[in-house]
Structures are given as C-alpha cells and as structure tokens.
Structure 1
Amino acid sequence: MEVISLILAIIFIFLSGLHLYWALFGLKDPASVLPADTDGSLKMRPGKLGTILVALFLAFFASIYLNKVLNFFHFDGLQYISTGIGILFLLRSIGDFKYVGFFKSIKGTRFSTMDQRYYAPLALVVSLLILALELWG
C-alpha cells in the first residue's frame, strides 16, 4: 500500500507544481484547461490567488499520502480526510453534468476533449486508488 501512497503523492505534487506554475507564469492556452462554452467563452477565470489556493490544497493532499509512508505526523482523522479527498475526486470525475466530468453536456470544445481524455479519467483513477488504499491499506 506504500506504493499506492507514493503514486498518489507524486500525482498531487505534480498537480500542485503545475498550478503554482500557472499562478506565477500564466496559462499559455486557457481554453485547454478551463471550461468553456461552445462559443469559446471561458466559464471561469481563476485569479492568481485562487490558483495558488488550489496548489496549496493539492500540496496538502500530497502530504497526507506522503505521511502514510513517512509517518511525519500522527492524527487519528487522516483516514477520514483521505476518504474525503477520494470522494472529492470521484465527484470531479462525474462532473457537473454541463462543463466537466464524464457526464458533461457541453462537448466540442478543447477543454471538453482534454477533460474526456485526461482530466476526468485521472480524477477517477485517483479516487479509485484512494478507495483501494483506504479499504485495504
């Protein structure tokens, strides 16, 4: 189960670094990473602070799974926090039924293509890894 914890930590460290990079240097192609309508208008425009907050949350998630290997802090509720993270990513993979997730209705945009191929499957894999970790770990 330590391998699953390390895989999750690496995923979250990478995603945290990516969000930090975007906050510092901006997005090169926002239409690929932000939900957009069929006319190309972005549905959200997170600022630097919002993007940094997402990066910090992802770094916190990484620390939860690194802790399962390194045991640098002890807290009885870590299993519940981990399960909550898994539920969060499962909900992300299901989506909002309009712009994100497997069941989105707005299709044909660059974001929807990237979401269908990469973002939603990654969220589902992360949630399944967390489920496996918490059920059998």
Structure 2
Amino acid sequence: MDVLAIMLSVVLIFLAVLHFYWSIFGIKDPEAVLPKNVKSNTVKTPGKLMAVAVGVILLGFAFVYINKVIGYVSHPWLQYISIGIAFVFIVRAFGDFKYVGFFKTAKNSKFSILDTKYYSPLCLLMGVLILLLEAFG
C-alpha cells in the first residue's frame, strides 16, 4: 500500500506545482482548464491568490500520503482527514451539476469535454484509491 500512497502523493504534488505555475506565469489556454459561464459564454477566471491556495491545499493533501509511508506524524485523526480528502475528490468528480463533474449541464466548451474525459475521472479514481488505501492500508 506504500506504492499507492506514493503514487497519490506524486499526482497531488504535480497538481500543486501546476497550480503554482499558473499563479506565477498565468494559464496559457484558459478555455481548457477553466469552465465557461453559461450565460455570458466567458471563461471564469480565479485570481492568482486562489491558484496559490489550491496549490497549498494540494501539497497538504500530498503530505498526508507521504506521511503514510514515512510515518513522521502518527495521529488517529489523520485517517479521518484522509477519508475527508477522498470525499472531496469524489464530490468534485460528481460536480456541482452546472460547470464541473460528470453531471454538469454546461457542455458547450473545451473545458467540459476535457473535464468529462480526464479531470472528473482522475478525481473519482483518486477518491476511490484513497478510500481503498484507508480500508486496506
């Protein structure tokens, strides 16, 4: 199960670095990574501070799974935090029923196609793998 924890950490660190990159250099193709507003057909753009915040949160998530391998901090509440992280990813996969997730209604953009093919399945896979790690690890 250590390999699964390391794989989850690597993916989370990659996503965190990607968010830090976006906060520093900007998003090169915003239509691919940000949903479009249904009414105005404009891309919803969060600020640089929000990208940094998401990156920090993802690094925190990665620490939880790196900690499973090295055992730096041992508290029983880490298991509950890990299960909470799994539910965050599963909820993200199902989405807000408007812009993101499998059940989104806004399906008229490049983001919605990529979200259906890659982003939501990745979130669902990560959520399920985290639950498996907690159940059998």
TM-score by length of 2: 0.95
Distance 2:46 2:36 in 1: 13
**Shift of residue 75, structure 1, vs aligned partner:** 2.0
1:24 aligns with 24
* Runs of 4+ displaced beyond 2 Å: 37-40
Distance 1:63 1:87 in 2: 17
Which secondary structure state, in structure 1, belongs to the residue aligned with residue 76 of structure 2? coil
Percent identical: 47
Which secondary structure state, in structure 2, belongs to the residue aligned with residue 46 of structure 1? coil
Conserved in 2, the CA contact under 8 Å of 1:37 and 1:109? no
Count of aligned pairs between the two proteins: 136
2:47 aligns with 47
TM-score by length of 1: 0.95
Distance 1:76 1:136 in 2: 16
Distance 1:24 1:73 in 2: 31
Distance 1:46 1:81 in 2: 26
1:9 aligns with 9
Instruction: Flag structure 2 segments of 5+ consecutive residues without an equivalent.
Output: none
Residue pairs, 1:43-122, within 5 angstroms: 44-122=44-122
Distance 1:92 1:41 in 2: 22
**Shift of residue 98, structure 1, vs aligned partner:** 0.9
Q: CA RMSD in A?
A: 1.0
Aligned AA for 2:7? I
